Structures are given as structure tokens and as C-alpha cells.
Structure 1
Amino acid sequence: MTATDTSQSRKRPARAPKPQGQWKVDGKEPLNANEVFKQEDDALNVRSRILEKYSKEGFSSIEESDLMGRFRWMGLYTQRRQGLGARATSDLSDLELADEYFMMRVRVDGREISTEALRVLAGISTEFARGTADITNRQNLQLHWVDIKNVPEIWRRLESIGFETTEACGDCTRGYLNSPVAGVAADEIIDPTPYLQEMHDRVVGNPEYSNLPRKFKTAATGHPSLDVVHEINDVSFVGVEHPELGPGFDLWVGGGLSTVAHFAVRLGVFVPPERAADVYEGVVSIFRDYGYRRLRNKARLKFLMKDWGPEKFREILETEYLDSPLPDGPAPEYSGQRGDHSGVHKQKDGRFYVGATAVVGRVSGETLAKVADLAEQAGSKRIKFTPHQKIIILDVAEDKVDALVEGLVDLGLPVYPGPFTRVGMACTGIEYCKLSFVETKEKARTVLDELDKRFEGEVIDPPISVHLNGCPNSCARIQTADIGLKGQLIEGDTPGFQVHLGGSLAGDNVPEGEFGQSVRGFKVPADDLTDYVEKVVRNFLDDRSEGETFAKWSRRAEEEKLK
């Protein structure tokens, strides 16, 4: 036997690839504890136990697999136990961190909220949530301090106004984003609202789609400002005008942030409006059937898209899940408008909509009730939340605009905020979140307000976004902010932030998005945050070339100017 023969004979046989938990490839045998509990009992079934048992017998009666698992499908997470320091986030288990109260997430799905409905939401906040109410960057409303005993009455009131908490969290199709000016904007290409409703009706609360590998995020817009952060959703329908087929949607799939960020990719298809729900159901089904389930940190649709690519994804969608192929279609054209809809804008019917900033999303039940009063005084019955933590009042008569603007300012909801407050964002933070290491809401509010004062009178256009996140999960979209701040402990137990610079999305006055880049080895103590942001912004203003954005500058600037 030659040396070559000996070498070949000693080669180990190739290992079979590990199953990834893809139902259509590997079968449905669960490969981790999370998949086990989802298969043991459909998470939607926990609703009846909440109504019939847990709400009557109290917190101590809740089974752990429901408390830490299935409750999410009903929009309920245990909130962080008060008095725990930041170190507890990494030292204690989820169960040890948990309080006997819940965060409740109300699905809004980008729909309009009547003034009557807003008062119901306000009443739930004041009666059952200690006045808490946060508008999220997914257009939802988040409440805290919810007692399990009050959940049935909260649900009854929500259902009376057409809202729900079903699948607001969990491994399912979470709340949808819709253009907050859908149906009223003068330059709208198509109103996605009826098509999103059909998607919702087919999928949400349907046991066929209640066990997905991980969470699944949906967005749709027909507005040329691209106002629903379509690049970072699992699936997005973006309004376009086909040269032969008329208005419809461009399809984007596979976006998401968290610790491994991916932009969604275009499939290159044109989705006629009447086929939108079929296409949506097909994309959700692909995720259910082919999504990776073995490892939780690889179970988002973005990882499947990375491995398949848009060509294969389109082929599987068209051949296995649709009854006919989709035509090729054009890409959306960005209008250059900011997609947050701050300020006063004319509607296509001649009336106006007014966009006010709920600073970092924090409001209260009392504030929401007063917004309903102001809207009615301005002749409006309709309100929208936005993906940028703002409130829009629709249908305002021209002679009522000034009084409405003044009233909103008095409520702490500026219509023309300073540039930093306008585009700032913050997640829930350590106040209530079990994953967080730092306080975010009040820190962001004070930092943004102080930056507006320090730069008063200076032209910062486009405004520079500062986003604060309490942990690596990017609920505040830190990778797509000009200045993204990821909370962590530094130098022992000092709360601070890792810095990411240069992120953007297409609705940020740029034609396409880019992810921010971390500043190597650099962290900022929370107490020094305002001074740091001021310093790096002044470096930008002093050093930028004509027309250069902060994102572009941050990629070419010398490292010392970024620290």
C-alpha cells in the first residue's frame, strides 16, 4: 500500500450534518426545551387557563411553563422585580428576576385609534397599570404593573374597541407596522390597511401559525417616505407603481437586528394587492416549515435567507406555497422625506394631520385621555401611533391646527421638537426589563433635552439620531442609529454604553440603510453620555464636507474624533 493509499484509508468518514429542526427537512421532533413546550400544548391554549384558573387563583397558581413561556403569546411578560441592581441581570435566572406583575403589550397593528378607543386605553392604564403607558417603535402600547387578576377585565375592554394582546409576543406573527398616514397622505401610492387586515385575519390566533421558530415581524407602507423601517422586518410590503400592472407592493424578506443584524432583501417580485395576503401566508409558512429551530440564536428568518438567498426563496415561495408565479417588479423610490411624520402636514382631502413626539415613547394614561380631548376639540376622531414613538392626530381643520399644536406642547408632546429629541429613541430599560443593564427612558429624555439646549440655534440637518438600548437585543434599533448606545456594565458595576456610530435606514434622508459600526474598545459611562455625544457631534460639524451625513463622516473620520 502506498503512502497515499494509507493516508486515504485513515480518513474519517464525513459527518452527517446536524439536523436544524426544519420541519420539512428534519421532521418535527423537538431539538430543545423551547420546542418541547411549544409542541406539548399550543401556546394559544393558555388564554383559557388565564381566564378560568390563574386570574381567579392568583399569581402563585401559574405553572412555570406557562409563566415563562406561553404567557408571551397573550402579550404578557413578567416584569423585572424592583430593587435589583444591574449585576442581577447576568447573575440571576429569568424566574429569579421576575416580579409578580406583568408587562402587557397591546397590539395596535398600525390601525387608527378612535378617540373613544384612546380613552378606553387610557382608562386601562390608570385603573390597572399604575398610569404607565409606553408607545413602542412597533406602534404598540405597553403597560406595566398588570396583575393577573385584572387580565380578563382588561381583555374585555380591549375587545370592546377592537384591540387585543393575542400574539403580541412569542414565537409567532407579532404586531404589524403600517404607514401611520395610510389613507390620508396626498402622495400615497397605495393604502396597505385592508391587505394587512386580511393578513391578520388569516394568521393571528390561528393554530396553523402559532408555533414559528422565533418571532416574526411584519410591515407595510404605501408612502414614499418609506416610514415603516422595512429593511429590518422579517417581511415587508412596500408600495410601488408597476408600469403595466398599476399600484402594488415590492416584497422584502429576512430583515432583523438583535445581536446579529441583517437587512431584508428584495425578492424582485411585484405583489398585486389582491395577492398580498396569499404571499404573506406563504412567507410565514416557509418560516414555519423551513426555519431553523435547533438553536434559538439562529432561528430567525434572516438566517434562512442568508443561506438560501433571494432566488431560492422566491422559487420555494412560488412553487410550493403560491398557485402561480409572481411578476417581476420595480424597486421602491425613496422620496427624501423623513418618515417620522413630525409636524403639520396637509392631507389629500384638504385637512391636516399633526405629528407630535412622545419623547422616547413614554406617555401615561392621563396623557392619552387628554390627547383624545385635544383631538376632539380640533374636530378629529382619529389618532395613530408611529414606528418612531410618535402620535399623529388626523383630520384636523386648518383653523384648529395652531390650538392643537399649543395643547400638545402643553402636554409634553412637542410638534416641532429639537433635533435630538425628535429622532431620539429608547427601549424599556432596567426599570422594568429583565434583560437590561442600564436605565434608558429617563436617561435618554434628559440627554436629548440637554443636547437640544447645547446646540440651540445651530443647523443640524438631517438631525442626528441617538438611540439608547439597555442590552444587546436592539429593541431601540441601535445598529440603525447615527449614534447607537448598547447598555452594559463597565469598570466593575458602573452603568455605561458601548458605542455604535453611522447607522441609518432609508427613511433617514438617505437612499439606503447601513449598519453602525462599534468604536473599537470604547465605552462611555452613563454619567458622561451627554458630554460624549456633544463632543462627537461637534467634531462632525467641524470636520464634515458639504452635504456629508453623520453616517458617512463617521466611516472616514480619524478614530480619536469618534471617542
Structure 2
Amino acid sequence: MYRYDQHDHQIIKERIAQFRDQVRRRLANELTEEEFLPLRLQNGLYFQRHAYMLRVAVPYGMLSSEQLRTFAFIARKYDRGYGHFTTRQNIQYNWINLEDAPDILEHLAKVEMHAIQTSGNCMRNITSDEFAGVAADEVIDPRAYAEILRQWTTFHPEFAYLPRKFKIAINGSKEDRAAIAVHDIGLTVVHNEAGEVGFKVMVGGGMGRTPILGSVIREFLPWQHVMTYLEAILRIYNQYGRRDNKYKARIKILVKAIGADVFAQQVEEEWAEIKDGPATLTEVELKRVASFFSSPDYAQLPSHDAEFEQHKEENKAFANWVKRNVKPHKVAGYTAVVLSLKKPGVPPGDATAEQMDFVADLADKYSFGELRVTHEQNLVLADVKQSELFAVWQETKAHGLATPNIGLLTDMICCPGGDFCALANAKSIPIALDITDRFNDLDYLHDIGDIELNMSGCINACGHHHVGNIGILGVDKDGSEWYQVSIGGAQGNQAAIGKIIGPSFSAGQMPEVIDRIIQVYIRERLENERFIDTTQRLGIAPFKDFVYGTPIKTTEHHGEDAGSVVSY
């Protein structure tokens, strides 16, 4: 993975010193909170319901074992012993003291990490496919381009104060696992008919108050021009994006207002002025950065390991884990292993300091010292020998990281919600735990099959509820917490925005609502038909009729205190 050069080290060092002085001035009341607000946001520091929250960037989701151990150290020393992995492939700490923030940034800098541009109206962390470089369906490894864009976007002076936050995702595989359709810019690395490498460019995707799927504005962009073309996009947005209303300030609103064709034409005209300028990417630079992502020293292994196959035959629990949590690898004899952060009774995406230390050791032992963060809020060991899977399963099971539910209903995406976030209208963690309690039969979950349940505590959609096969949105109704349900959303190659099935529900009704939706699916599905296929074939009507057909009994749900639901 990429290592900082002298420029990275210098700018991080200078930024920490600058922020340390800003914190000192705030604590001494030399800065008001209003003056301090934009300064702390530039360093990933939010003020939440109970304390400051620090969001740390994990560029394109890649971590070394050393970096993960630093995350564990920070969780243990400065937080309450855990961290929360997010849908942006980052990690958040929810209980930070302001005076500790500069020290935390110092610890991060020692392992070449930071919290810069994880908030504010700037270009945020570049995200990508968590299986980049190892995916069996990969066309081109996107990581070198992701790193080049990381360097280009960091402290870019022209785009430090955009109309609104800006998110870029890049995918290099046949299947889109980076959710590029719901990003401000989504890039797919492709070959044209001549075999040349370039990008298909989507613009104007996003969720929040106005969920929109991005529009393709260029089918093929030569790789040399990825930065100049993106610069043209951002210039048009910076010039014409609305600044009078933050709810209408995202680039998706601009693209929708003038039309994708007109926007594309404006970009082309702007690009013509800078196309061959200093930001043109050279082959020398691409090869330099790509060299940091060379393949590990893989052993020559058979495609199938006899002992592994025997373990699957003899151990149903292991076989179920392999089916859900083990993914194909482009190198024979290797696999990618997804470590579930969705154990029943635990807030989705949370990991304790002890678990992080354990996963770091696991990465050193089985996966060349590297791991990945997924935007589904799980962790990945990308390079595990098939012959070592049984040992990995046994070890991870002992640490609560082997729940065989990847892609199933309880592998839900969930933001921290009202337990922590000051923007949230409703709690999300207790609802996630209640639903997990209701569907705690793994055999039943495996029978239901692939289904994505995404939940957000407010319209900002940090839980990606719009693209969940089932989406749950926390809403405020006369000062109380209610939940709106949608179905039919999807990410990936067939991205779709879900449709709301009707009026919202109370917290105590939610497990029964989800149960009724699943009952309709089981009743109506065709042979081997996934939930998303059934909902898109039938529409919302049969689900709505059954959910609202008879009164829904309200049940007890998890307590009000956030601390009471953090159970490992």
C-alpha cells in the first residue's frame, strides 16, 4: 500500500501544529465556537450529542496492521474502548475530549494517517472496491488511480470551499462494489475498443434529501486526463453550484437543474482549456504510484485444498461461514475473508480495541499485514490461503468476528443515529439490534438469502437507506421518533432508489414490519429469486397491503441509553 513521501509528512506535520494552536486558543476562549467551527471541521472534528467525534480517513479503505493497532490504541486511551467503521470506509471515535484531539492526530501521523477533509465543504475521502487488487472479476486495479486522486484532492486550493461536500468513488471490476452511482463523481476503470485504459465518468449521484442516481457524461476518458477532466467538473460546480441553500447545494441539484447533457457540454468546454495542462497524468508517475500496489509474494498453490474441502464436508457451521464470508480471489489457492462487524447485540460497524488488535495480528499472520474496510461496515483480510481458512474461522469465531451473515438481513448498514449524532431525528442502533433479535435464526436467514437492509437516523442518509433493498429512515413526528420504510433500492450495477411503502412506524413496530415484508417475499418469490428481484417484479403494492393490512403490535425495544446497547 502507498507510503507517505516527504510532502505528505510535511503538510501533515504543519497541519497538526496549526490545529494544536487553534485548539489552545479555543480552550482559552480566544476563539468563539462560531470561529472554531470551520477550523475543527477541516480536521474531522464534529461536536455530537455527548462529546466531540473524530472521523479519521482511511483512503480507499486500505489499512496496514500497524495502522489498525494505532486505531486500537486511540480507542483505548482516548475513547471508550471502541471505534465505529463507516460507510465512507473511515473510522469514527464518538467520545473525544477536545484537548486530546491534537495528540490523537500526532499518533495518527506516526503511522501515516490523518483526519483532514473528512468533513467540510471539500473533496472527501476517495472510496473504492474493498477487494481492489484481488477481486476475481477485476478488469483493472483502481488503487493507483485512487491514490493519485487522494494526493490531488488533498489541500487543493481551488476546491477547499466548494458549495457543499464532495465525494468521489472509483471501481475497477465488472461488478460495482463502490456504489459509484450515488456519488458526486463515480469512476469506472475500463478498456475501450482499442484496448486502451480509461474511465467511464458518472456525475450527480447522491442520497440525502434528494436521492438521485448519477448520469454518465463520458463513456471513455483517457487515463492521462483523469485529473484535468475532474478539475473541469469541479470548476463548473464551484462556479454554478448553489450557495444560498445548503439543502440544494450538492452537484446533483445542479446537474438535475440544467440537465446532464448541458452539464457535460459545459465540462467539455472548460476541459478544453486545461486538457493538456500541468495536471495531465504521465506514465512515469502512474508507474511510480502503482509500484506501491504490487502483488504480495503469493505462493504457488492448487486451486482446491483437500483438507479445506474435508472441513466443509464435516462442519456445517464452517461451511456456512465459507459460503457467506469467503470471497473468490484472482490468485489460485487464495481467498478474501470478510470479518463481520455485525454480531448480534453489537451496534453494526463497531469494533473494540481488543478486536482491532486481534485483527491486526490476524492480518500479519494470514494476509501480508494488510486489511480493508468495506462501505458495508465490515473488515476484510484480502489474501488468505484456502488451506488456512479453517484456522482463521476458529480464531475469528473466538473474538466475535465470524458471524456467517455477510449479505444477509442482519449484515445491515447502520449509522450511529440519535444515540450520538446531533443531526439525527431518531435512534438507529436500538432498531438494528431489535431487528437482529427478531431474525436470530441463522438457518432462516440463509433461507431468506441475499438482502440488504440499510438504516439512517436522518435524511442525510449516512446509512445509505435509499439504496437498501429495505431502507429505514428515522423521522421526527411531533417531537417523537418514527421510522419510514422503503423497498426496492439497490447498489451495484443495477443501482436503484427504493420506494416508500407508506406512513411511518413507531420503534416498537419495526421488527414486525420487517417480518411482514419478509413473509410477502417468501410467499411470492420465484425459484432462486432474490428479494430485490421479487420487489422490482411486483412493486410495493403487495408488501404495502400486507404490512398495513392488520394492526401491528408494539413490542419492547432496546433502551434509551446509548451505553446500554454497546455490548460485546
The corresponding residue for 1:51 is: 20
| Per-residue deviation, 1:261 | 0.9
Counterparts of residues 180-219 of structure 1 (less than 5 Å):
180-219=130-169
Q: Is the 8 A contact 1:129 1:146 kept in 2?
A: yes
SS, match of residue 177 in structure 2:
coil
Residue 33 of structure 2 corresponds to residue 64 of structure 1: yes
The corresponding residue for 2:299 is: none
CA distance in 2, matches of 1:144, 1:168: 15
Deviations along 1:179-204, whole A, 9 cap, x unmatched? 11112223311112111222221221
The corresponding residue for 2:223 is: 273
The corresponding residue for 1:33 is: none
CA distance in 2, matches of 1:424, 1:552: 23
Match of 2:521 among 528, 534, 540: 540
The corresponding residue for 1:560 is: 545
The corresponding residue for 2:102 is: 152
Residue 389 of structure 2 corresponds to residue 401 of structure 1: yes
CA distance in 2, matches of 1:342, 1:281: 39
The corresponding residue for 2:345 is: none
Deviations along 1:20-40, whole A, 9 cap, x unmatched? xxxxxxxxxxxxxxxxxxxxx
| Per-residue deviation, 1:468 | 2.0
Indicate how the Cα distance of structure 1 residues 415 and 242 shifts in structure 2: closer, same or farther if over 3 A, else same: farther
Q: Is the 8 A contact 2:367 2:381 kept in 1?
A: no
What's the RMSD between the two structures over aligned residues? 2.6
| Per-residue deviation, 1:176 | 1.2
Indicate how the Cα distance of structure 1 residues 422 and 531 shifts in structure 2: closer, same or farther if over 3 A, else same: closer
CA distance in 2, matches of 1:429, 1:288: 31
CA distance in 2, matches of 1:419, 1:451: 14
Match of 2:472 among 485, 491, 495: 485
Indicate how the Cα distance of structure 1 residues 53 and 303 shifts in structure 2: closer, same or farther if over 3 A, else same: closer
CA distance in 1, matches of 2:479, 2:248: 31
Counterparts of residues 314-463 of structure 1 (less than 5 Å):
314-322=264-272, 323-324=274-275, 342-348=325-331, 350-359=333-342, 360-414=348-402, 416-417=404-405, 420-421=408-409, 423-453=411-441, 456=444, 459-461=447-449, 463=450
The corresponding residue for 2:496 is: 514
Residue 460 of structure 2 corresponds to residue 473 of structure 1: yes
Provide the identity percentage.
Answer: 24
CA distance in 1, matches of 2:324, 2:57: 21
CA distance in 2, matches of 1:197, 1:458: 37
Q: Is the 8 A contact 2:184 2:205 kept in 1?
A: yes
CA distance in 1, matches of 2:200, 2:438: 41
The corresponding residue for 2:191 is: 241
Q: Which ranges of structure 1 fall in alignment gaps of 5 or more residues?
A: 1-44, 82-100, 326-339
The corresponding residue for 1:165 is: 115
Q: Which amino acid aligns with 1:144?
A: N
Residue 180 of structure 2 corresponds to residue 230 of structure 1: yes
CA distance in 2, matches of 1:422, 1:239: 32
- Equivalent pairs counted in the alignment come to 480
Indicate how the Cα distance of structure 1 residues 251 and 379 shifts in structure 2: closer, same or farther if over 3 A, else same: closer
SS, match of residue 500 in structure 1:
strand
| Per-residue deviation, 1:220 | 0.2
| Per-residue deviation, 1:504 | 1.4
Deviations along 1:98-124, whole A, 9 cap, x unmatched? xxx311111112142111111011111
SS, match of residue 251 in structure 1:
strand
Q: Is the 8 A contact 2:408 2:445 kept in 1?
A: no
CA distance in 2, matches of 1:218, 1:484: 23
Q: Which ranges of structure 2 fall in alignment gaps of 5 or more residues?
A: 1-13, 277-322, 343-347, 549-568
Q: Which amino acid aligns with 2:52?
A: F
Indicate how the Cα distance of structure 1 residues 494 and 295 shifts in structure 2: closer, same or farther if over 3 A, else same: closer
Match of 2:534 among 549, 552, 560: 549
SS, match of residue 162 in structure 1:
coil
Q: Which amino acid aligns with 1:557?
A: P
Q: Structure 1 residues 219-228 or 445-454, which shifts more?
A: 445-454
TM-score by length of 1: 0.79
Q: Which amino acid aligns with 2:391?
A: A
Deviations along 1:260-282, whole A, 9 cap, x unmatched? 11110101331222222222222
Deviations along 1:177-233, whole A, 9 cap, x unmatched? 111111222331111211122222122122221010000011001011200111100
CA distance in 2, matches of 1:55, 1:377: 42
Q: Which amino acid aligns with 2:23?
A: Y
Stretches of 4+ moved more than 4 A in 1?
A: 45-49, 59-62, 322-325
Q: Is the 8 A contact 1:379 1:395 kept in 2?
A: yes
The corresponding residue for 1:301 is: 251
Q: Is the 8 A contact 1:196 1:277 kept in 2?
A: no
The corresponding residue for 2:292 is: none
Q: Is the 8 A contact 1:73 1:168 kept in 2?
A: yes
Q: Is the 8 A contact 1:55 1:150 kept in 2?
A: no
| Per-residue deviation, 1:545 | 4.2
| Per-residue deviation, 1:173 | 0.4
Deviations along 1:459-483, whole A, 9 cap, x unmatched? 223x222222111221111111122
The corresponding residue for 1:32 is: none
